[in-house]
């Protein structure tokens, strides 16, 4: 399911309170805005309410300014925070990558074919290996080598590029570097990482080979927002694929990379379609 070309996206959250759904849907109806899709969730643990609506405006003269002005008085009663996303809006995404190309390849293919409603103005890497992919797509590629001693300077260069290209979202497409606490704090809420998910967990070098030695029966992947807890930020999407004794280490790697690709794609898609809400250390995701 994809948005209609002329649909606006309304997202909001507020403390849980009787009438939260009604205040939004009544306003939409009275304003003659036609609702194409609606999702809402009331989290009884955090006592927060979340809602996402795709709608078509009731008049050709619709403006975001008029909507905000008219809705503000009703939203104030619920302490509601909201935002509108206009039709055709495309998030500006910076992709960070090292040497593995499977996630980068997939994102660029989906970007080029319109499956991802984004712009990719820059690719940043700590290795030169994937320059050819960026060149083929006509995207600037910055090779920023990094060592333990140069990490602060390299991360400062990355932040300068994010500012230069007016980036909305950072995607770590198998960027094999641990970000510093300061970098994690800066990117909190607007950077997505992907990594393998194996049960039991295997850390360090060659995780799929470690998993094969234990006779693992599933491989998976997790896409999450970056924070200072290594690989433990709020989860957006996860994927899984069954395997068995007939799968050798190279088969596990291949299947794992397939899961990583689709899991990261969905995470980026949901984020850019305004389907993800942060709720403390958790997420509310209105998937489609």
- Residue 33 — left, alpha, or beta (φ > 0 → left; ψ -120 to 50 → alpha)? beta
Alpha-carbon gap, residue 37 to 121, rounded angstroms: 30
Same domain, 138 and 228: yes
pLDDT, position 206: 84
Q: Indicate the burial class of 234 (C-beta count within 10 angstroms; 0-12, 13-18, 19 or more).
A: buried
Same domain, 132 and 269: yes
The last residue of one of the domains, among 66, 85, 104, is 85
Residue 80 lies in domain: 8-85
Reported as a single tens digit per residue, the pLDDT across 195-245 is 888 767 777 778 888 888 889 999 999 999 998 776 688 999 999 999 999
* Residue whose token pair is 């997790």: 222
pLDDT, position 130: 97
pLDDT, position 5: 66
Residue 156 structure tokens: 């400062």
Same domain, 103 and 65: no
Same domain, 41 and 133: no
Per the structure, the count of domains in the chain is 2
Q: Which residues pair with 222 in a beta bridge?
A: 195, 238
pLDDT, position 179: 92
pLDDT, position 156: 97
Active site residues per annotation: 231
Reported as a single tens digit per residue, the pLDDT across 46-70 is 999 999 999 999 888 899 999 999 9
**Do 71 and 82 contact (CB within 8 A), yes or no?**
yes
Alpha-carbon gap, residue 82 to 13, rounded angstroms: 7
pLDDT, position 2: 59
Same domain, 152 and 211: yes
Q: What are φ and ψ of residue 239, in 5° steps?
A: -135, 160
What does the chain come to in residues?
288
Q: Tell me the longest C-alpha to C-alpha distance in the chain.
A: 64
**Do 224 and 231 contact (CB within 8 A), yes or no?**
yes
pLDDT, position 230: 67
pLDDT, position 240: 94
pLDDT, position 70: 93
Going by the DSSP 8-state scheme, the letter that residue 3 receives in this structure is -
The last residue of one of the domains, among 85, 111, 133, is 85
Could you write out the DSSP letters of every residue in 196-255?
EE-SS---SS-HHHHHHHTT--EEEEEEEE--SSTT-SPEEEEEEEE--TT--HHHHHHH
Cis, bond preceding 285 (omega within 30 deg of 0): no
pLDDT, position 199: 66
Is residue 3 one of the residues assigned to a domain? no
Q: What is the CATH number of the domain that holds 44?
A: 3.30.70.260
Q: Which residues of the chain have pLDDT under 70?
A: 1-5, 199, 230-231
Same domain, 119 and 139: yes
pLDDT, position 208: 85
């Amino acid at each position: 399911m994809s948005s209609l070309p002329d649909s606006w996206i309304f997202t909001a959250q507020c403390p849980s309170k009787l009438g939260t759904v009604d205040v939004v849907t009544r306003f939409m109806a009275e304003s003659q805005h036609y609702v194409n899709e609606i999702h809402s969730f009331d989290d009884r643990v955090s006592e927060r309410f979340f809602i996402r609506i795709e709608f078509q405006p009731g008049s050709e003269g619709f403006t975001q300014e008029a909507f905000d002005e008219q809705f503000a008085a009703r939203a104030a009663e619920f302490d509601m925070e909201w935002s509108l996303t206009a039709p055709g809006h495309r998030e500006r995404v910076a992709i960070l990558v090292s040497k593995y190309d499977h996630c980068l390849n997939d994102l660029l293919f989906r970007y080029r074919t319109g499956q991802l409603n984004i712009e990719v103005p820059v690719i940043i890497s700590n290795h030169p290996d994937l320059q050819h992919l960026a060149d083929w797509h006509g995207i600037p590629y910055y090779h920023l080598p990094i060592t333990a001693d140069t990490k602060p300077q390299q991360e400062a260069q990355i932040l300068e590029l994010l500012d230069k290209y007016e980036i909305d979202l950072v995607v770590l497409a198998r960027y094999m570097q641990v970000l510093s606490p300061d970098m994690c704090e800066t990117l909190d809420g607007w950077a997505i990482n992907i990594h393998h998910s194996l049960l039991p967990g295997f850390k360090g070098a060659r995780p799929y080979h470690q998993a094969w030695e234990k006779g693992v029966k599933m491989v998976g992947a997790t896409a999450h927002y970056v924070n200072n807890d290594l690989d433990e930020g709020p989860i957006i999407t996860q994927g899984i694929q069954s395997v068995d004794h007939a799968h050798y280490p190279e088969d596990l790697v291949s299947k794992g990379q397939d899961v990583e690709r689709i899991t990261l794609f969905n995470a980026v898609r949901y984020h850019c379609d305004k389907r993800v809400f942060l709720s403390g250390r958790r997420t509310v995701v209105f998937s489609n």
